[in-house]
Structure 1
């Protein structure tokens, strides 16, 4: 398998692929998640690609002392997935903590990488920089190996990433290659499924992020959305232009409206012209609320039945456990830790 592939190549043979992706349950998903990943996951599902979504509750502990409200956040992730269009009958949604065999794969996988290789891994460097700590836990340091276990336990051949995240996948590819060379062929080398989704800016002009407090939650109501957009950073120039380098706040709002209206940011800017920031924010508010109205209505409907969300996780965990136990069995046989006939 090559290092990267595109959505166009997947469309030709969707049933031959298995995709693994997911999120850490640290709070509600936002519009950046929707346009950056959720929308594409639903598209892959609808194409007929086998889709697995991991609710990475163990990975929350990589940069936090405790995982706050893990069960509630996990259920809310499922809620966001369903509202966006993920269908449990066609996608497996599961949690790290409920799949012991997946996590057990970390032990043999750790033997296949060196400390030096982990130390220079871009995923580790990014997480350490984001955490802002002088020292990190062993779990954070081995974060790429846990990611490799997520990907390889189900033998996923594709992992959706942006171009800048391609190097993060190399540890999983390296582990698969080394395991196969040492013990025999068990794992595919997963490829990066390149996404053309743009980085969505938050209300302060920076990357939209839960931790930066600049996000518009997927489940926000229309009044909350309006307040967040009104408070967004812009500038004093009344002529609205799309200039991401020099006017990041304005550019972010233009991009958001364009995504919601299936237009270019430049065309939105031309429409507003000399209307200034107030006209821009009104347009963005209307565009976001119009686009997400059916998704949010569906989310409110689903939120009334938390038992249904828990059942989806139970079902997904059962499927993931069966897959993980089968893969762990293959690994044990390949390594010779159980009789070949077992």
Structure 2
């Protein structure tokens, strides 16, 4: 097959305005951030009244088992939005595992572990669509037209890509890592999601998706005359607390400092027993001066549905031992129902397979319809 271009008298395409790269890089700072916060608050208020206006896209990379940071940071909110009536798309981003890794690891096991935790937490396959990257060819095919309307320079200015490049040392960056923001845009736009729950640090990725949606419309026009092929997705900024790992650093699967949702009561007790505290026996909630102690106090408060200040006051002079005892009891009591549901789900692998197959089928239907619109707009229907 020849890849030689046919000659044409059509005028050259206008050069891409690469100033958008600056806009993407600056989307989580200053006035832009203030606008995002204000708009997120408006959306949050509207969700309670008009949930049917929104389709949400969210998800996780299956690089390990989910932990309590994921639960309080995102899973709870996904279930809340689903139950409000928001059309929810939940992606297991298996292809994105290899953006910064040499292999996928025990990926099948991890995918079904994620799925079990999703369902145990309350995600309902009758109300949401759970699917995997690798099962939706139409989603990934969008990468080709999307890559044609972004530049190497703006991708390298994306904060996530930039930090990865700086941290890589002499190791060359993979093409998939460089185009990670474009793949995320395809995740969002293939299903025409107009709502993406994110933290402030993820705003540049969402801005990249907005830029791609706009550029596609400007370059290729519209499949339907009165509206763009893709909506402009908006951010729902997370107000979830950031839970530290039990060693006082960022909670991370790779650091082994997490309490996994699949842990039993004894495993949970052992890791909390090793948690970092300090030498002051009087327990207070002071995140700036006592981050490790305050992290445990906050975790107990989340599980007990109490303020961290009231938890600290109850422990008083009980010291680190008293704090860890309360946290252990609170976490084990709170997650006991989740663990019971999870165990039942893991014991029925056929059901998990059916849930994922049904989600993949729906995601493919959506992707194929979007891809047909894209091809129509690009005049590539043959």
Fold match (TM-score > 0.5): yes
User: Equivalent residue for 1:243?
Assistant: 286
SS of alignment partner, residue 211 of structure 1: helix
Aligned partner (choices 232, 236, 241) of residue 198 of structure 1: 241
Whether the 8 Å contact between 2:184 and 2:205 is mirrored in structure 1 is no
Output the TM-score relative to the length of structure 1: 0.96
Look up the match of 1:74. 111
**Take 1:270 and 1:128, find their aligned partners in 2: how far apart are those partners?**
46
- RMSD over aligned CA atoms reads 1.4
Residue aligning to 2:312: 269
1:58 aligns with 2:58: no
Corresponding residue number in structure 1 for 2:40: 5
Q: Which residue of 1 aligns with 2:350?
A: 307
Q: Would you say the 8 A contact 1:258–1:264 is kept in 2?
A: yes
Give the corresponding residue for 2:301. 258
- Judge which range, 281-290 or 237-246, deviates more: 237-246
Give 3-state SS (helix, strand or coil) of 1:193's partner.
strand
Q: State the secondary structure of the residue aligned to 1:81.
A: helix
Q: Which residue, out of 213, 218, 231, partners 1:176?
A: 213
Q: Specify the SS of the correspondent of 2:253.
A: coil
Find the partner of 1:294 among 330, 337, 350: 337
Taking structure 2 as the reference length, the TM-score comes to: 0.86
Match of 2:197 in 1: 160
Residues 284 and 309 in structure 2, CA contact (< 8 A), matched pair in contact too: yes
Q: Shift of the alpha carbon at 1:266?
A: 1.5
2:324 paired with 1:281: yes
In 2, the alpha carbon distance for the partners of 1:147 and 1:217 equals 26
Q: Residues 119-157 of structure 1, C-alpha deviation per residue, up to 9 Å, x if partnerless?
A: 010232344467677421010010000000000000000
For residue 85 of structure 1, the aligned residue among 122, 139, 159 is 122
- Report how many aligned residue pairs link the two structures: 338
Contact 1:94–1:317, Cα closer than 8 Å, also in 2: yes
Q: Distance in 2 between matches of 1:163 and 1:321?
A: 30
Equivalence for 2:224: none
Show CA shifts across 1:240-269 (max 9, x none). 111222222111101111111111212111
Structure 2 residue runs without a partner (length 5+): 1-34, 222-227
Distance 1:325 1:107, change over 3 A: same
Following TM superposition, by how much is the alpha carbon of 1:106 offset from its aligned partner in structure 2, in angstroms?
0.2
